[in-house]
């Protein structure tokens, strides 16, 4: 039984490697046609109409969804439905992306002919570089594969993976060309955890600053503040943040100096602490904490004026992680 399971795993590995190699080969073939396709799509003042039949149709649906969620208005149009009224969604300022493994599917050509009559440019994603679809397309992107992962070289597997990857490449490059930002993504995804994470700001989570120490305060004062304010004591001078103390600082100091309670906080504090600003994304504050091994940050604005404090646990509860 173990030998049988191992053999099945090896088959699965072979299939994944075959599909990965097909995507890598497609990446190596990208050329000026990809650049022209991106510029054509970016320059369209209308929508991107995405179409395909069968398995290519499923990839087309996913591509339309990806484009729409990353700032490029897109709609999937079934080729057959386009002949029965749905062609009405196509406008003269639109661009079409048509996916087909062979480029010869008869089900496509009613729609393709209509797109030509409407003078809608077509980006073809196909393995048939000399096909009927490629001949009428404005730009053709090479989605050919040496073989399908199917042992009979019949079921679309590697070919749909390559088409999907090329579609993703188009969508992501368009995102970059259009300057689509994380905040824009959040606006289009407000309902889920992703939207919360991208919209949440430090000011939404931070707490009031608590007790503030002057530089001449002693470590005895700092001990009380650390206990009261969840492990962070902030020191200000002329109303601006001068340094911070943490419970870790306190522990290390107590181990090496038994008379530490009489020291001035200015002799012990970290003078250039990591901080957050109220308007930065909460996720960015989490990144700062992770990179520098801290769990709490002072929140400052106007050149160093302390306005709050933000804790990792509060960020986690708010969904910033």
- pLDDT by residue (tens digit) across 244-300? 999 888 888 888 888 889 999 999 999 999 999 999 988 889 999 999 989 999 999
The domain defined by 202-317 folds into CBS-domain (3.10.580)
Residue 57 has pLDDT above 60, yes or no: yes
The answer to whether 159 touches 101, Cβ cutoff 8 Å, is yes
The CA-atom distances, in angstroms, between 191 and each of 187, 188, 195, 263, 284 are 9, 9, 6, 51, 20
CA distance linking residue 276 with residue 135, whole number of Å: 56
Distance CA 26, CA 168 (A): 13
**Per-residue pLDDT averaged across 218-231, rounded?**
90
Chain-centre distance for alpha carbon 34? 22
Domains 2-180 and 202-317 share a fold: no
pLDDT at 2: 60
pLDDT digits 0-9 by tens, 69-95: 888 889 999 999 988 888 999 998 999
Give the model's pLDDT for residue 176: 87
d(Cα 222, Cα 215) in Å, to the nearest integer? 11
pLDDT-derived band at 129, boundaries 50, 70, 90: very high
Residue 317 has pLDDT above 90, yes or no: no
pLDDT in tens, 144-165: 999 988 777 667 899 999 999 9
CA distance 297 to 313: 12
pLDDT tens column, 27-53: 999 999 999 999 999 999 999 999 999
CATH number of the structural domain 2-180: 3.40.50.10490
Q: What is the structure's pLDDT at 68?
A: 87
Q: Provide the percentage of residues in the chain whose pLDDT is more than 70.
A: 91
Residue 50: what pLDDT? 97
Q: How confident is the model at residue 198 (pLDDT cuts 50, 70, 90)?
A: low
d(CA 321, CA 295): 13
Residue 225 to residue 300: CA distance in whole angstroms = 19
List pLDDT tens digits, range 169-182.
999 999 888 886 66
Quote the pLDDT of residue 230: 86
Between 18-32, 101-115, 180-194, 307-321, the lowest mean confidence (pLDDT) is in 180-194
Nearest to 254 by CA among 216, 220, 295, 230: 220
- φ and ψ at residue 46, rounded to 5 degrees: -100, -150
Distance CA 100, CA 11 (A): 27
- Domain residue extents for the chain: 2-180, 202-317
Q: Which residues pair with 311 in a beta bridge?
A: 296
């Amino acid at each position: 039984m173990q030998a049988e399971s191992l053999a099945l795993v090896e088959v699965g590995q072979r299939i994944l490697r075959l599909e990965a190699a097909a995507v890598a080969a497609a990446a190596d073939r990208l050329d000026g046609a990809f650049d022209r396709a991106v510029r054509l799509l970016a320059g369209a003042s209308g929508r991107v109409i995405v179409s395909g039949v069968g398995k290519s149709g499923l990839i087309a649906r996913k591509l339309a969804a990806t484009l729409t969620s990353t700032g490029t208005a897109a709609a999937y149009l079934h080729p057959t439905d386009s002949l029965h009224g749905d062609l009405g969604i196509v406008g003269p300022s639109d661009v079409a992306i048509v996916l087909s493994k062979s480029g010869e599917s008869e089900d496509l050509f009613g729609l393709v002919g209509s797109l030509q009559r409407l003078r809608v440019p077509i980006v073809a994603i196909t393995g048939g570089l000399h096909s009927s679809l490629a001949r009428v397309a404005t730009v053709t992107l090479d989605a050919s594969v040496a073989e399908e992962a199917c042992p009979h070289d019949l079921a679309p597997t590697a070919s749909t993976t390559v088409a999907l990857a090329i579609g993703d490449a188009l969508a992501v490059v368009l995102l970059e060309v259009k300057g689509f930002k994380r905040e824009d993504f959040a606006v289009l995804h407000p309902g889920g955890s992703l939207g919360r994470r991208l919209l949440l700001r430090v000011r939404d989570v931070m707490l009031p600053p608590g007790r503030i120490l002057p530089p001449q305060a002693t470590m005895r004062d700092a001990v009380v503040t650390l206990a009261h304010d969840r492990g962070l004591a902030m020191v200000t001078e002329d109303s601006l943040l001068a340094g911070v103390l943490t419970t870790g600082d306190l522990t290390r100091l107590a181990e090496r100096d038994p008379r530490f309670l009489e020291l001035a906080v200015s002799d012990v504090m970290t003078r250039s602490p990591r901080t957050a600003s109220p308007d930065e994304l909460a996720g960015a504050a989490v990144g700062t904490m992770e990179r520098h091994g801290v769990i709490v940050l002072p929140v400052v604005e106007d050149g160093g004026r302390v306005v709050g404090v933000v804790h990792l646990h509060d960020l986690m509860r708010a969904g910033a992680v």
